[in-house]
Amino acid sequence: MATKVLVSDLIYDVNHVPTNYIRPVSDRPNLDQVVQSFDHSIPVIDLQGFNGSMHFDVINQIGQACQNYGFFQVKNHGVPKEVIDNVLGVSREFFHMPESERLKNYSDDPLKTTRLSTSFNVKTEKVSNWRDFLRLHCYPIEDYIHEWPSNPPSLREDAAEYCRNVRDLALRLVEGISESLGLKGDYINKALGKHGQHMALNFYPPCPQPELTYGLPGHADPNVITILLQDDVPGLQVLKNGKWLAVNPIPNTFIVNIGDQIQVLSNDRYKSVLHRAVVNCNKERISIPTFYCPSPDAVMQPAPELIDDDNPGVYRSFTYSEYYQKFWNRGLETETCLDMFKTSSA
């Protein structure tokens, strides 16, 4: 039997996941302990008022959510429904193409700017995850679009339109987060150098034993903020007070989370929170995170305004490219990469 690189193409006993996907007993999703209640889910913020008289109310809601959850959802975000439907549709088409057509884009090198891969980092991890993903760098778009898959034929156009719209949203959110910290609205945008934006099209096939494996194990995102689009199949969970909360899909709503760089810039006022994706027996799931980033050469450090005698600087300065390489090399095994960038006194 030929070796299969992608989970979508695996040939296995229909009732059992292959052994390399099985987590040790101490590291399983414990799906019966997940909090499913809608009332306890993460806050939904209406961005309608962002540019009007409700501006400070919206900023206050953003600040509260960042402090209490590290996560929030946004509605009336300005990204047209058609743009969202198109990118979800073309992603589904991509993952349903024949194996040989998909594999033209395969690479296991995390630093490649366009690549199809599987799990998280196949070069470093011991247990595999039940996920395939197409990762695309997308800002500045003209530097990368020629690398993107030319099949399905509308992928470049649909993904580009989506990226441009989500970038506008990301800039507003980063401005709001900056203001919520008491910084100038453009402080964080300026700290990101020339800016960067990546996205992943995540594909989680149905899984015969979702209680034994993960789509993605608990992790924090290394970037500035992540804007997640998910289809109508649940799977995302967020850690809150030691419990995993399910974030069930609300149509036309994005899920936003603080990444490690906001934790650094805010000098630990806002925390980059652990989250994970679980799989299920019946339905494939697609999620599309946009990772808004500094440019690789941008120097990251806590904002001087947030450092004083009571709050000494927690992190040393570093370039984003240094952080990003460490993130991919250490894998998702231990929980956060931030500890490697703390000052010796912190």
> Where on the chain is the footprint of ligand OGA (CB under 6 A)?
200, 202, 216, 221, 228, 230, 235-236, 275, 277, 287, 289
Task: Tell me if residue 225 falls in helix, strand or coil.
Answer: strand
Distance (Å) of CA 76 to CA 73, 217, 258, 280, 297:
10, 30, 20, 30, 33
Q: Which of 158, 175, 179, 221 binds Ni ion (CB under 5 A)?
A: 221
Least distance from Ni ion to the Cβ atom of residue 276, Å: 8
Residues numbered 87 to 106 that lie near Ni ion (CB under 5 A) are none
Q: How far is CA 176 from CA 18, 49, 214, 254, 263, in A?
A: 45, 12, 33, 16, 15
Spell out the SS3 assignment of 332-344.
CCCCCCHHHHECC
CB of 149 or CB of 289, closer to ligand OGA: 289
Contact 207, 279 (CB under 8 A): yes
Q: Which option in ligand OGA, Ni ion, none does residue 288 bind, with CB closer than 5 to 8 A by kind?
A: none
- 199/268 Cα distance (integer angstroms): 26
Q: Which residue is nearest to ligand OGA (CB)?
A: 287
Report the C-alpha gap between 102 and 9 in whole angstroms.
11
The smaller minimum CB distance to ligand OGA, of residues 17 and 332, is found at 332
The answer to whether the CB of 241 falls within 8 A of the CB of 207 is no
Question: Which of Ni ion, ligand OGA, none interacts with 136 (beta carbon under 5 to 8 A by kind)?
Answer: none
Minimum distance from residue 286 beta carbon to ligand OGA (Å):
9
From ligand OGA, Ni ion, none, which one binds at residue 287 (CB under 5 to 8 Å depending on kind)?
A: ligand OGA
The site partner of 175 among Ni ion, ligand OGA, none (C-beta below 5 to 8 Å per kind) is: none
Q: How far is the CB of 144 from ligand OGA (least distance, A)?
A: 18
Per-residue binding letters, 50-79, with Ni ion (x by CB under 5 A): ------------------------------
The one of ligand OGA, Ni ion, none whose footprint includes residue 66, by CB under 5 to 8 A per kind, is: none
Closer CB to ligand OGA, residue 181 or residue 236?
236
Ranked by CB distance to Ni ion, the top (closest) residue is 221
CA distances from 110 to 113, 118, 133 (A): 8, 11, 12
Question: From the list ligand OGA, Ni ion, none, which binds 87 (C-beta under 5 to 8 Å, kind-based)?
Answer: none
Which residues pair with residue 257 across a beta bridge? Answer: 71, 226
- 83: CB partners within 8 A, 6+ apart: 158, 161, 162, 165
> What is the DSSP secondary-structure string of 305-342?
GG--SSS---B--EEHHHHHHHHHHHTTSSS-SGGGGB
Angle between helices 155-180 and 81-95 (to 10 degrees): 120
179 part of the interface to Ni ion, by CB under 5 A: no
Nearest distance from residue 226's CB to Ni ion, in Å?
6
Q: Could you tell me the smallest distance in angstroms from the CB atom of residue 135 to Ni ion?
A: 13
Give the residues lining the site for Ni ion (CB under 5 A): 221
